[in-house]
Amino acid sequence: MSIRTVTVYAASSQALDPVYIDAATRLGTALARQGYRIVYGGGGHGLMGAMADAALDSGAEVHGIIPEFLTRVEQGHQGLTSLEVVADMRTRKARMLEGSDAVITLPGGCGTFEELFEAMTLKRLGQFLGPIVLVNTRDYYRALLEFLRHSVAEHFMSQTHLDLWQTVAEPEAVPAALEQSRPWSARAALNTAAVQPRR
């Protein structure tokens, strides 16, 4: 696949174990080395900030998108290539995916989950076709991945939906996972329909 712009979802928390900060930093460096343009939530804290700092240090173009109300609580990252202020969270979420070739999800909380699940849902329905890669640092997403498999086992999702995302243990594995990802477009139409009745 030809990947140019990647969207990164990541934690805002500043209370994390250094192992997560390290993974976010290494992701920023790995994406910059690959020459990707990065779009993310525009925050200066947590894994978002660590990823953006490292990417900028390594020469990447980093575009932040932040809703207006958040700029009143926190400034947003001040050293970005560009920082876009939008009306609200919904607009931000849509803008973060516009023109994006791929989604990368670092560990995070409910904000990250929501963004990830929206990307998965849009892909399931053929509205976003790019790779979705979860960086599973310290097996953080184990329970979530288990629950998604449970959802398939209980027929809320189908077996093909397990191909909506890929996981990698180390951030350095992200570029290869993106470049080797199989195109989803052919399967998108099939998956647009609801899970079919069991025979």
Report the residue number whose CB is nearest to ligand AMP.
Answer: 111
Closest CB 102 distance from ligand AMP, rounded Å: 15
Burial annotation 98-109 (CB, 10 A radius, 16+ → b, else e): eebbbbbbbbbe
- Helices 110-124 + 89-97 axis angle, to 10: 50
Indicate the residue among 99 and 109 with the shorter CB distance to ligand AMP.
109
**Nearer to ligand AMP among residue 30 and residue 187 (C-beta):** 30
**Dihedrals φ, ψ of 99, to 5°?**
75, 10
> Which residue, 141 or 187, is less far from ligand AMP as judged by CB?
141
Could you tell me if 181 and 131 are in contact, meaning their C-beta atoms sit under 8 angstroms apart?
yes
Question: If you write DSSP's letter for every residue of 40-70 in order, what string do you get?
Answer: E---SSHHHHHHHHHHHHTT--EEEEEEHHH
H helix intervals, the chain = 18-33, 46-57, 68-73, 89-97, 110-124, 142-153, 174-179, 185-192
Smallest separation, CB 63 to ligand AMP (Å)? 12
Shortest distance, CB of residue 65 to ligand AMP, whole angstroms?
A: 8
Q: Is the CB of 62 or the CB of 191 nearer to ligand AMP?
A: 62
Instruction: Provide the minimum distance between the beta carbon of 110 and ligand AMP in the complex, in angstroms, as a whole number.
Output: 5
CA-CA distance, 51 to 188, in Å (whole number)?
31
* Comparison of 80 and 191: residue with beta carbon closer to ligand AMP: 80
Query: Which residue lies nearer to ligand AMP by CB, 53 or 191?
Result: 53
What whole-number distance in Å separates Cα of residue 26 and Cα of residue 37? 16
For the bound state, the minimum distance from the C-beta of residue 197 to ligand AMP, rounded and expressed in Å, comes to: 36
Q: By the criterion CB under 6 A, which residues form the site for ligand AMP?
A: 9-13, 41-43, 48, 66, 70, 74, 108-112, 115
Compute the least distance from the CB of residue 147 to ligand AMP, in Å: 17
